[in-house]
Structure 1
Amino acid sequence: MKQQIKKSSIEWKEVVLSEFAKCLNGFAFKSEKFNDEKKGIPLIRIRNLFNGKSETYYSGEYVKEYLVNQGDFLIGMDGEFKIFEWKSEKALLNQRVSKLLFDKEKITPKYIFYLINQKLKEIEDKTPFVTVKHISSKQIESIKIPLPFRNGHPDLETQKQIVSILEKAEQLKEKRKQAIKLLDEYVKSVFNEMFGDPSINPKKWSIKTIQEVALDKKGSIRMGPFGSQLKKHELVTEGVKVLWIENIVGNKFNPGGTKYITEEKYEQLKGFTINKGNLLITMMGTIGRVEIVPDIGKAIISSHLLKIEVNNKICDPIYLKKIIMSPFVQNQFKDASHGAIMSGLNGGIIKSTKIPLPPLPLQQTFASIVEHVEKLKEKQNKSLQEIEQLFNALMQKAFNGELVK
């Protein structure tokens, strides 16, 4: 039954998606016909929705209804429930991916694209799971959305106006994201211009190990305490901070999820103290993520982090971070970790990793450029957050029938 939400010059009604759109579930194509040699046509699986392209091709026969064209809207049926616009070449709809088919005389597809994600998230949050969450086409088609009507018929013009407003806000978001991406690319370009490709070392810088650029003292490169030294029941809600691998996300410091130990426990673990300017490296999980410790007060590291106290007389921490992030060093980490007895990195691998070491003044010049770029990125990120808040507010107004009168 249709439920009236609001009366105005436009009549808003809550409608069921199945009245205007249907889900076409993907087909279970035979895996023996899959290939990565670009024979046939690309095949869309759930993983391809996030990066927008597929490296897997299907060389067998298929029914045309399972073709996906640029601009079609797809929903992954497992994991994260989210709608995606397919922007790549023509491809095939594989099982566990659904394509929305619209009655375009009644509905503007992009209108559904903007409004449905919030509803999908609500279903996802309520869905129980053991390993992976699943959604059905019936659940998708049962989603209720607000729809503008005029003279008893769906109002396509109002839908298009709402889409236009939301598209402009989204374009602003993308411009900010692109600006941030360009700043990152600029730093990479400056690094290569000043120092050259580390794997080739065209400028013939001296080669040092990470051990050689750390302070010449015991414990300058050190992993966090073993599990037996710091047990879960010893963690408290306030006191001295304990950092975990979750605090290093995408080579950035994430202050969230902090746990603590008492001052008494800290006295036992003083050797694992970290200070502003130290480098932290993740040793398990996504190995080799790296960040410089900001000013966070008294803190120690946990078992899957490693700290480096850098010798600032020969090596700038910002340069060391960037060289560790480079494929040259990351490949050394990967090669060494594959040969290790235990999975992941260890202190010996880090200490023996080789890096080119340019003159300190050149490193410092590069570091000052990076610091300036980071300030610009901070402004762009703040602007992006404000735009996202605006976008979310506009979305809420659209849901409430308040965006267009």
Structure 2
Amino acid sequence: MAKLKEVCTFYSGTGFPTKYQGNDEGEYAFYKVSDIANNVQLGNTYLSVCNNYISGEIAKEIKGCILPKDTVVFAKIGEAVKLNRRAITSADCLIDNNAMGLAPIQDKLRLDYFFYYMRNLKMEKLAESTTVPSVRKSLLEELEIKVPSLEEQKEIGEILDKVSVVIQTRKQEIEQLDLLIKARFVEMFGDPIYNANNLPMMCLNDLGVWNSGGTPSRTNPAYFTGEIDWYSAGELNTLYLEGSIEKITEEAIQESAAKLFKAGSMLVGMYDTAAFKMGILKKASASNQACACIEPNETVNIVWLYYSLQLMKEHFLSQRRGVRQKNLNLGMIKGFEIPIADRGKQDEFVCFAEQVDKSKVV
């Protein structure tokens, strides 16, 4: 075993002045946390998509930390910590000061072996319990990693590569099943954005009771020792939500702005890259203030609503506000209108979707 500080070089991020942002040419790519997320979501192990570039002169002016090729980068602060996204630099570059980089020392660690280690490191468990989650460099330096011989590392990496191919193939199969469900929705109800079937329009506010979540005070760590699921918007990644990273107590619900939402309600993300991510609660749970929640009435089947909103997601996201961070708010979401089908037809579609979903676990 070895400590990370013994087998890796640590690189910090650099503050990125607004006046230098937005250039699509330059000597160095300057990756923000959102760029790391975009690359991971595109399936890129190595960073290739970037929205900002700077010259060598500007890098010197801002005292930028240049990260070498083959450095593993990740978010170190904010809700992005909980998403556990990792990528590898493909050339010398910079990262913003919300991120960190670790480069394995070549005669001690193979990059592929180390990357698998980092991908499986649950960073949110290392984050300090403050209002904004953050991971300290000093803590990471003391983490231990098993360091077999370089030949053994190569063998382990090759095995994990094969496993990754199987996982990726399965993900692609699941994505195709999701496309099948969405195609069936359009076949039955038309594209909800254009409403060619002339279905009646209703505000989301009229489809149930809406609320937003809240965060118990981090100054009372006891609030976060309970069994009640407490979701952040970044965790809304599946149709049904199986369990949150953090849990809170009943006292936290009673003594803060947090609320207990009923099973069968649906959470909707409101802020930045998590805007309009959604998930349906399988049991009574809470969320932070970055989530809205609808407890549906009899007008709508919540699973039907989930797929309807998925198809209209980009339409709604285009109405976000903000310059540096594109956000929605509860009032905006409640005011959005969607075409509403007959409840019987909704239920028919949901039966189809549930049958397809069963194929995902075969």
Report whether the alignment pairs 1:192 with 2:186: yes
1:399 aligned partner: none
Whole-angstrom CA distance in 1 between matches of 2:72 and 2:103? 8
Q: Is structure 2 residue 357 aligned with structure 1 residue 369? A: no
**Paired position in structure 1 for 2:73:** 74
Which structure has the greater CA radius of gyration?
1
**5+ residue gaps in structure 2?**
40-48, 215-227, 251-260, 322-328
SS in structure 2 at match of 1:54 = coil
1-structure distance, mates of 2:356, 2:110? 41
In the TM superposition, what is the alpha-carbon distance from 1:321 to its structure 2 partner?
4.0
Matching residue of 2:217 = none
Q: Which residue of 2 aligns with 1:23?
A: 10
- List alignment gaps of at least 5 residues for structure 1: 1-13, 149-154, 215-220, 228-241, 261-272, 337-342, 381-405
Q: Is 1:331 aligned with 2:327? A: no
- Post-superposition offset of 1:43: 0.8
SS of the residue corresponding to residue 10 of structure 2 reads: strand
Q: Tell me, what secondary structure is at the counterpart of 1:174?
A: helix
Following superposition, the deviation at residue 184 of structure 1 comes to 1.9
In structure 2, do the counterparts of structure 1 residues 258 and 376 end up closer, same or farther at CA, with 3 Å as the change threshold? farther
Tell me, in whole angstroms, the C-alpha distance in 2 between the residues paired with 1:124 and 1:301: 22
Show the counterpart of 1:50: 37
Query: How many Å apart are 1:78 and its aligned residue?
Result: 3.8
Q: Does the 8 A contact of 2:108 with 2:147 survive in 1?
A: no
- Aligned to 1:205, the other structure's residue is in SS state coil
Residue of structure 2 in register with 1:92 after alignment: 93
| Superposition deviation, residue 374 in structure 1 | 1.8
80, 104, 107: which one pairs with 2:106? Answer: 104
SS in 2 for 1:173: helix
Instruction: State the superposition RMSD in angstroms.
Output: 5.2
Percent of residue pairs identical: 20
Structure 2 length-normalised TM: 0.60
- CA–CA distance in 2 between the matches of 1:27 and 1:287? 26
Say whether residues 1:205 and 2:190 are aligned partners.
no
Q: Distance in 1 between matches of 2:239 and 2:182?
A: 16
In the TM superposition, 1:208-247 aligns within 5 A as: 208-209=201-202, 221-222=208-209
- Note closer, same or farther for the CA distance 1:117–1:185 as it changes in structure 2 (3 Å cut): closer
Given the superposition, is the C-alpha separation of residues 59 and 333 from structure 1 closer, same or farther in structure 2, using an over 3 Å criterion? closer
Q: Does the aligned pair in 2 maintain the 1:333–1:345 contact within 8 Å?
A: no
Return the alpha-carbon distance in structure 2 between the equivalents of residues 122 and 362 of structure 1: 42
**Contact 1:207 / 1:354 at 8 angstroms: preserved in 2?**
no
- Secondary structure (helix, strand or coil) at the match of 1:209 reads strand
Please give the secondary structure, in 2, of the residue aligned with 1:326.
Answer: helix
Q: Is the 8 A contact 2:2 2:145 kept in 1?
A: yes
Q: Superposed, which structure 2 residues align to 1:4-403 within 5 Å?
A: 14-28=1-15, 30-35=17-22, 37-40=23-26, 41-52=28-39, 53-59=49-55, 61=57, 62=59, 66=66, 68-69=68-69, 71-78=70-77, 80=81, 84-86=86-88, 90=91, 92-96=93-97, 97-115=99-117, 121=123, 124=126, 131-136=132-137, 140-148=140-148, 155-201=149-195, 203-209=196-202, 221-222=208-209, 249-250=236-237, 252-254=239-241, 305-311=293-299, 318-327=303-312, 331=316, 344-345=330-331, 350=334, 354-357=337-340, 363=346, 366-377=349-360, 379=361
In the alignment, the residues of structure 2 paired with residue 129 and residue 300 of structure 1 have an alpha-carbon distance, to the nearest angstrom, of 21
* Letter of the structure 1 residue corresponding to residue 296 of structure 2: I
The question of whether the paired residues in 2 share the 8 Å contact of 1:28 and 1:95 is answered with yes
